[in-house]
Structure 1
């Protein structure tokens, strides 16, 4: 009981968690951009991008579990899946923004494309932070919104009492 209370007290505030989210996500994103270029010199770009996207999402999720949201432990497979879903949604938002731009402006310049992309990325990032903080790495599941709980029930997701096998076991072995 005291351990749970001390973990609750160690949870960072929203501002601190957001700053850590930007730092971790930005760091992984910057490293990923270099990794894609390097890997694309050996394999097709689309494959390099897909591999780096998967790898960077796994790394970022671990950083968010341990550092950003103060869980102090490895992310579970369930948390990795939820994080990947939020990353996929963020990717869809940026793609949709670029498609809308192409529909609205016949020949947008590179600066306009970059502004639209960065704005969409920022909005998607803020939404992703909220999902990770309030759902994926929430300390108290009862604080999650009723809509999230209803969606979980509708999809047949049941809370588990034991951590699922996965990255947590890898962390314990290390």
Structure 2
């Protein structure tokens, strides 16, 4: 549902947003984990992870802007940059997890690597959800500023006021 003044959809509740985040971000993350594994066969794992993380962050940010957090429009450059910051932290978490795994087991199997990678991604994902919801896609209401040239709205006696009040900014359009 859109509001008349902002033209944006109402923000979903935390549970709905988290479910959408898991669906969108988790789907992109799951596909990314397989893409990283496939690309790592040709280039280093760190470079593969960096490339896939960059591409998946762009895709996920668009999905989150349009669907997860209810904006219903493209993500702004500011949102992409802020989202990239949280993705960089996620990248560091997944790299650290994989480095620890390879220190403990120099030749882990693909299933163990996938399990560690997906576990680290899930942990980072919960923190990323909080950052995106509370910072990147947070909705703030800006107070309407009165201008010095605005004409004061005449007062109507309460007995004659039958129609709902029209916001002053809509009256100034003429």
2:136 is aligned to 136
Output aligned runs, 1:2-151, within 5 Å. Answer: 2-4=4-6, 7=8, 10-32=10-32, 45=43, 50-103=50-103, 105-107=104-106, 109-110=108-109, 111-140=111-140
Find the residue that maps to 2:64 and give its secondary structure. helix
1:36/1:48 contact within 8 Å kept: yes
Aligned length: 137
TM-aligned CA distance change 1:34 to 1:75, over 3 Å: same
Segments of 5+ residues of structure 2 without an aligned counterpart are 143-174
Aligned counterparts of 1:39 and 1:108: Cα–Cα separation in 2: 18
What CA deviation, in whole Å up to 9, does each residue of 1:49-102 have, x standing for no partner?
544432321111111001000011111101000111111110101111222344
Tell me how far 1:118 sits from its aligned partner: 2.5
2:33/2:118 contact within 8 Å kept: no
2:29/2:121 contact within 8 Å kept: no
TM-aligned CA distance change 1:33 to 1:120, over 3 Å: closer
Aligned counterparts of 1:129 and 1:45: Cα–Cα separation in 2: 30
TM-score (norm 2): 0.63
What CA deviation, in whole Å up to 9, does each residue of 1:113-142 have, x standing for no partner?
444332221110000011000000001289
2:20/2:68 contact within 8 Å kept: yes
TM-aligned CA distance change 1:131 to 1:75, over 3 Å: same
Instruction: Say which structure, 1 or 2, has more relative contact order (CA 8 Å, 6+ apart).
Output: 1
CA-based RMSD of the aligned residues comes to 3.2
Aligned counterparts of 2:136 and 2:30: Cα–Cα separation in 1: 24
TM-score (norm 1): 0.63
CA radius of gyration, larger in? 2
TM-aligned CA distance change 1:73 to 1:14, over 3 Å: same
Which one has a larger percent helix, Structure 1 or Structure 2? Answer: 1
